Amino acid sequence: MKRLAILTIAIALHIAGAALSADQQPAPGRTLAPSTDGKLNIIAFGAHPDDCDMRAGGTAAKFAALGHRVRFVSVTNGDAGHQTEGGGALAARRRAEAKEAGRRIGVDYVTLDNHDGELLPSLKPREDIIRQIRLWNADLVLAPRPNDYHPDHRYTGVLVQDAAYMVVVPNVTPDTPALRKNPVFMYFQDGFQRPNAFRPDVAISIDDVIDKKIDMLDAHVSQFYEWLPWVDGDAALAKVPKDPAERKRWLKEQRGPQPTPAVREALVKWYGPEKGKAVRYAEAFEICEYGQQPNKAELKRLFPFFGM
């Protein structure tokens, strides 16, 4: 019976491996029980190959610097995000940009092959997300809230919510062994107010890694220097500096995430008034009601940055 069980797991792992491309393979030697080497496994989902970077790039750089394992997953391939390019060529360009962005801060970056602008909360992408969370043996899962102007963002939020319980159910997506312990799920910060505003349960100072975060964003040339300024209008596009060093300085001015009043309050709560009031750049996260519910001690374990 025991041998049969081992064989079944081996076959299941083999099938899971075969179904995934090389860059989606689990790190070698990973098991499904929670890791015991003192390192955290963090996985973040964004709809497009720059979303995780904007919302959690600084925090990810801090995790990576401490030797924790971080994977960013773009649920779509970004093949609609440009004014003059598109389709497979744009998807390839953006996949390469994402890889480079991940390399710059020491995180793994996977781009799934769903079309940009067409994501729906259906079974296949849900199963892909379940597999990703399981294969990464995640302790912490980050994702957008489902309140968002962009349907891909919204449905990425829904898809991760839909996976939050299923990752522990062995009969669901049985080609990839289920997690024994439900991860903590948290949302990225956003500015949307309806039906409810983002609540910063944890706020992280990224002052020490802001240049790393900007360096990461700088790898997405097709987005920050071409597409996003174009969306803002021809005048905005004309303002993008041509010189690589100059445009990076411009990017920092544009994209350095300054704390909102609610995030400032959370910074003071986590770092104390003196440090909390002095923070210039921050990223914040809200606990999702699904998945494991962390107390303050667990949050400190999952975000080992306070008092440093």
Interaction site with Zn ion (CB under 5 A):
47-48, 51
CA pair distance 178, 22, nearest whole angstrom: 21
Nearer to Zn ion, 69 or 95 (CB): 95
Are 134 and 15 contacting, i.e. CB atoms less than 8 angstroms apart? no
Cβ nearer to Zn ion, comparing 54 with 167: 54
What stretches of the chain show up as alpha helix (H) in DSSP?
2-19, 51-65, 87-105, 123-135, 151-166, 210-218, 221-222, 228-231, 234-238, 244-255, 261-271, 273-278, 296-302
Least separation in angstroms between CB 114 and Zn ion: 13
User: Residue 303 Cβ, how far from Zn ion at the closest point, in Å?
Assistant: 24
Longest dimension (CA), the chain: 69
CB of 12 to Zn ion, least distance (A): 33
Give 26 or 46: the residue with its C-beta nearer to Zn ion.
Answer: 46
Q: Which is nearer to Zn ion, 74 or 205 (CB)?
A: 74
At residue 303's C-alpha, the angle toward residues 157 and 191, to 5°, is: 40
- Which helix (H) or strand (E) segment holds residue 111: the answer is strand 108-114
Cβ proximity of 198 and 192 under 8 Å: yes
Give the whole-angstrom CA distance, residue 304 versus residue 219: 27
Query: C-beta of 56: minimal distance to Zn ion in Å?
Result: 13
Q: How far is the CB of 46 from Zn ion (least distance, A)?
A: 6
Specify the residue, 85 or 208, whose C-beta has the smaller distance to Zn ion.
85
- Nearest residue relative to Zn ion (C-beta): 48
Label residue 190 left, alpha or beta by phi (over 0 means left) and psi (-120 to 50 means alpha). beta
Which alpha helices (H) appear in 136-209, and where do they start and end? 151-166
Nearest approach in angstroms of CB 241 to Zn ion is 23
Cβ closer to Zn ion: 58 or 294?
58
